[in-house]
Amino acid sequence: MAARDVGFADCAPGGVLAPDLGADVRRGLVLAGGGLKVAYQAGVLQVWLDEARIGDEPLQFVHADGASGGVFNLAMWCQGMSGRAIADNWRRFAPVTRGATPSLSGTALFSMRRFRSNVLQGIWGLDWPTIRARGAPATFNVFDVGAQRLRTVAPADMTEDLLVAATSLPGWYPPVVTGGRRFIDAVYVTDANLSATIEAGANELWIPWTVSLAGRWRNGPVSQYFQIIEASANGRLHVELDRIAASNAAWARGERGSFPYPVRVVPLVGRVPVHYLLVFTRRAIARAVEQGVSEARGWCADRPGVTLVPAAPPTLPMVGGIRFRERLSGRVRVATDPYARLAIALTATARDVDALRTGDRRLGLTGVVECPAFGGRRPVETGELVLLPGDGPSTMEYRLDFTDLVGHPLRLVGTKQVRHDGRLDIWPDTTTLAVTVSRRDVPADPGADPVADPVADGTLRLRAWSFLRLLSTVRGIAPAFGRRVRAVWRFETWFLRRLAEVYLRPREPAVDPGFPVGEGPTNAFVVTDNRAVLAASPDEVWGRLVDASRWHEFYDNARDVRLSGTRALAPGTTFRWTTFHTPIRSTVVTFEEGKELGWTWKGPLSRGYHVWWLEPDRDGCRVRTVETQRGLVPWLARVLLRRVVTAGHDRWLGGLLTATSPGGAPRVSSDPPGSGPP
């Protein structure tokens, strides 16, 4: 005769799934999937986590496990939210206006993009740095498509991508690619990983179960799809229950079971009258939450040893947050390519604008890093933006953690310097990001290990069209329209006021080594840097440089040089001349005999500084000349001027060589670039 099927009915006192554990009770929480039915589960958690008491003590769980839709509630529990906060988050969830949207990619029917920004990052406020740092005893279940294996992930390793992957039903939502691997919902393998909870030390499993056990067959492709889900979830559940029952029976006979100790199963089965996925009203979700609260209270009242305390007051909705998207791109130096293209496309989220205004300047960042050297488009695992901390001159600091195609953990760190030290500098300051990319798995001190050096560095910029797009993406995050508008208004007024504090007060001149105050490369619109080694002595080169009235003999770009009262340049000498078809007036401000010569200059809607450094070399004289330009014309024509002026100064160096050592050939200097003398 066939053995009797084991099920939740055997969890009643005296059943094979309800052994006597004595005083050694170690509770585990199993948050099974169930689609949107897990709103009921959130109501149960309000009671179990906040209201239920055993021996006047709140319930404590040594481990919690989540699969499929249950991972949403597990993530909130791992973040430290109360049961009431978890339930209230679901009460505020509107599936149509804040849920999934149709996908245009062709990979699935729906996309989770809006759900991520509006719900996970928005009204639910999932904070992944907090989840990872708290280290709650938990496991998240997700299916690795490439390996064809179930993966259990600890909170310390969880990301938003993995959370979304754990609920990505094939056909309905696209798989999620993260860390070079493709993941989907684990429901076809398990909807409740009882074994993982037992292996973590629990011997009493509290399970709020929402998947239908009715075994009723319905026609139609949608109904049958979810009946496949029910068959997979319930089938795996019963395999686990059979194993627990057999293990308990062995322990009862004095033998060793397949689990290291007897295990008691404590289920709360809810018959939730909402669909797993096709729910269209916020009211239906809220009703499922209230059903969970009501049935959990009744369940606790009927359970010996469990008492209830008054319910906690409702949690306040989010005061109001904001989010916006930003894209920066540019060139970086990597080992294989000195001009590698790198771009970052980010979504920044501040969950509480008032907290941002009062001092907590951290925003969460999600998005992608795009660079062929790192394997193309790589998702950001964790990211943070510290926006204008403190008062007065400040910074915008970006930190992005990601993994390259071969699995190396990398960190991109970028900084925008917000400091008023030049005219028209608000645009370059707020749109220029100096970045470095380094390995996360090596010591931070470069002296400790050579591979700790940055693997890439360069400059990214926010282009004008990207800036306009950024402005169009600023959105408020709050349950009500009025609060969303208020959040955007308060953020934008604060941001503009902070910029005004910096840029509407007297400039703070930039200080660059080797340059007069305010004349260095920092915040200059045009910077050129030319170097060569000439087969002539420094004295010969110096003599040609200070004899400005004869520049035209070897440099065709110097015309009509007129010095005031002298033939050679000296400290304080003022001279007028035409260069690059532009009449300018120059004044010598730096003069060190045989070593350094520099002059400031002014022209139509432009000004600048030009310096020459000379140094003896085994082959003659090492020469470096740097020019910086500021003003409206350099700002408008900066790309063209960099090329034209660089080419002109190359001719000047070539002319110096011809004048000092006819027939010689200049040798390009190998000095590293920098702001100071050679």
Q: What top-level class would CATH report for the domain 24-305?
A: alpha beta
Number of residues that make up the chain: 678
Handedness of CA 202, 206, 210, 212 (dihedral sign): positive
H/E stretch holding 645: helix 638-660
Mean pLDDT in consecutive groups of 10 residues from the start of the chain, 678 residues: 77 94 95 96 97 93 97 96 95 83 84 88 84 92 97 95 96 92 96 96 97 90 92 96 96 95 97 93 95 97 93 76 92 86 92 89 90 91 91 92 91 92 80 93 54 77 88 83 88 93 78 84 87 90 93 92 87 94 94 95 95 91 94 91 92 90 58 44
Which residue carries 């330009």 as its tokens?
629
Q: Regarding the domain delimited by 526-660, which CATH topology (the fold level of the hierarchy) does it fall under?
A: Alpha-D-Glucose-1,6-Bisphosphate; Chain A, domain 4 (3.30.530)
Cα(45)–Cα(73) distance, rounded to whole angstroms?
9
Residue type, 147: A
Angle at 322 between CA 320 and CA 327, to 5 degrees: 175
CB burial of 478-488 (b: ≥16 within 10 Å; e: otherwise) equals bbeeebbebbb
* Strand 176-178 to 337-350 pairing: unpaired
Contact 383, 364 (CB under 8 A): yes
Q: Say whether 482 sits in a helix, a strand or coil.
A: helix
| Tens-place pLDDT, residues 169-204 | 999 999 999 988 999 999 999 999 999 999 999 999
pLDDT of residue 476: 87
pLDDT of residue 134: 86
pLDDT of residue 451: 38
How far apart, in Å, are the Cα atoms of 30 and each of 16, 61, 129, 316, 574?
A: 19, 10, 23, 28, 83
Of the candidates 298, 341, 315, the one whose C-alpha atom is nearest the C-alpha of residue 48 is: 298
Cα(170)–Cα(176) distance, rounded to whole angstroms?
11
pLDDT of residue 381: 83
pLDDT of residue 339: 83
